[in-house]
Amino acid sequence: MTDSVAIRLRGLTRRFGDVVAVDGVDLDVMDGEFLTLLGPSGSGKTTVLRMIAGFERPDAGLIELGGADVTRVPPYGRDVNTVFQDYALFPHMTVQENVEYGLRVKKVAKAERRERAQAALESVRLDGYGDRAPSQLSGGQRQRVALARALVNRPKVLLLDEPLGALDLKLREEMQVELKEIQRGVGITFVFVTHDQDEALTMSDRIAVFNAGRIEQLGSPTEVYEHPATPFVAGFVGTSNLLEQAAAQAVLGKPGTWSVRPEKIRVIGTDEPVREGEHAVRGTVREVIYVGMSTRFVVDLEVGGSLMAVQQNAEGSTDLGHMRGQPVLLVWNTRHEYKVAD
Ligand code: ATP
């Protein structure tokens, strides 16, 4: 990643009838950055991506690519490529031919076509697969061919709209790691759209969290997860674990709404000591949920509201069902509480 700006959006706005799909978005994507647009369905992510690609015209605002104003430039005049979820490969062509196709349309000479397609296949770790038909590949491999088909054009920017959406969970998780490695290898700027918070946290240099057409928070995965800026971000990225108003005043001695992530909270007995620098709150265990690697506790607080705590099932007895209905203390270090609203 360098400190020059690959994509600059200013006041980007798009309406569909009464719906303001994108509402004054400002964003700088840096050269070589992996930036994810994360948000619920209908929050405007795809519309932003389509405007960067040039498939959609903004009603207001500015789009710059590499410092040049492209707001009114048609898609083919922009140095970007898009990979969609339903990556349609040509079934009657080999993998190699599929990847070469774009270059053939651009009348690139045969030898160069061959060479560039092979390099693109290598970058997605599919060297040796060139002669296969798409039907002889797994879903993940087909997705990588689609990626190679975009990379072969050597775009400055690659736009990816839920490209892993069609894959099953395991493959999806593998591809997340691979895609990030591929992006690092080729050094192209990636703008990636997803509604999956884990996916965004796994792959991104930075995440722009979208809500109702606006960017609610922009930051690294750690910043967005550990320091959510608003209740919406706290709830959308991770479990919403909030101490609100009266409860915050009672437990923290401070006004406002505060967030504490579940894995920062220890569950201890009511007579166990609280350490210096920790806050504690009394409650009753409502639910104990065993999830393999960890156990989740949902605890109703005496001061009102509830919090979730997560404990690794590292050693000792991991069947903690007997704790349901028990009074407990929830404790956490004060540095893990973040104000998300006044
Ligand atoms: P998803 O994850 O479901 O794709 P998204 O965050 O990408 O959602 P957009 O597809 O950008 O959201 O849509 C934002 C809003 O604009 C939605 O309310 C959607 O219904 C509306 N919208 C998008 N495209 C059109 C269109 N061509 N005509 C009318 N309304 C549209």
Q: How do residues 285-297 score in pLDDT, each as one tens digit?
A: 999 998 888 999 9
Enumerate the β-bridge partners of residue 19.
Answer: 16
> How much distance in Å is there from the Cα of 131 to the middle of ligand 1?
39
Q: Given this model, what pLDDT does residue 112 score?
A: 94
Ligand 1: which atom is nearest the Cα of residue 56?
27
41 pLDDT higher than 70: yes
Using CA positions, which residue lies closest to atom 17 of ligand 1? 42
Amino acid in the structure at residue 47: T
**Residues near 15 by Cβ (< 8 Å), separated by ≥ 6?**
21, 59
CA distance 16 to 159: 22
Average pLDDT, the chain: 92
* Percent of the chain with pLDDT strictly greater than 70: 98
Using CA positions, which residue lies closest to atom 21 of ligand 1? 21
CA distance 145 to 87: 9
> How much distance in Å is there from the Cα of 42 to the middle of ligand 1?
5
pTM recorded for the entire structure: 0.86
317 pLDDT higher than 90: no
Closest-CA residue to 203 (of 178, 180, 229, 228): 180
6 neighbors 64 (Cβ within 8 angstroms): no
| pLDDT band of 2, cuts 50, 70, 90 | low
Domains assigned to the chain: 5-236 (3.40.50.300), 241-341 (2.40.50.140)
Which pair of structure tokens corresponds to residue 302? 């005496």
CB atoms within 10 A of CB 74: 9
Q: What residue ranges line ligand 1, CB within 6 angstroms?
A: 16, 19, 21, 39, 41-47, 195
> How much distance in Å is there from the Cα of 8 to the middle of ligand 1?
21
6-28 confidence digits (pLDDT tens): 999 999 999 999 999 999 999 99
> How much distance in Å is there from the Cα of 21 to the middle of ligand 1?
6
β-strands 5-16, 19-30 pairing: antiparallel
Q: What is the mean pLDDT of residues 301-319?
A: 86
37 neighbors 161 (Cβ within 8 angstroms): no
Probe residue for ligand 1, chosen from 15, 23, 46 as the CB with the greatest number of ligand atoms within 8 Å: 46
**Residues near 184 by Cβ (< 8 Å), separated by ≥ 6?**
none
Ligand 1: which atom is nearest the Cα of residue 14?
16
CA distance 192 to 176: 11
Using CA positions, which residue lies closest to atom 30 of ligand 1? 16
137 pLDDT higher than 80: yes
279 neighbors 251 (Cβ within 8 angstroms): yes
Using CA positions, which residue lies closest to atom 16 of ligand 1? 21
> How much distance in Å is there from the Cα of 17 to the middle of ligand 1?
12
Phi, psi of 186 (to 5 degrees): -85, -20
Lay out the sheet containing 68-69: strands in order across: 19-30, 5-16, 60-65, 68-69
CA distance 315 to 318: 7
Ligand 1: which atom is nearest the Cα of residue 50?
11
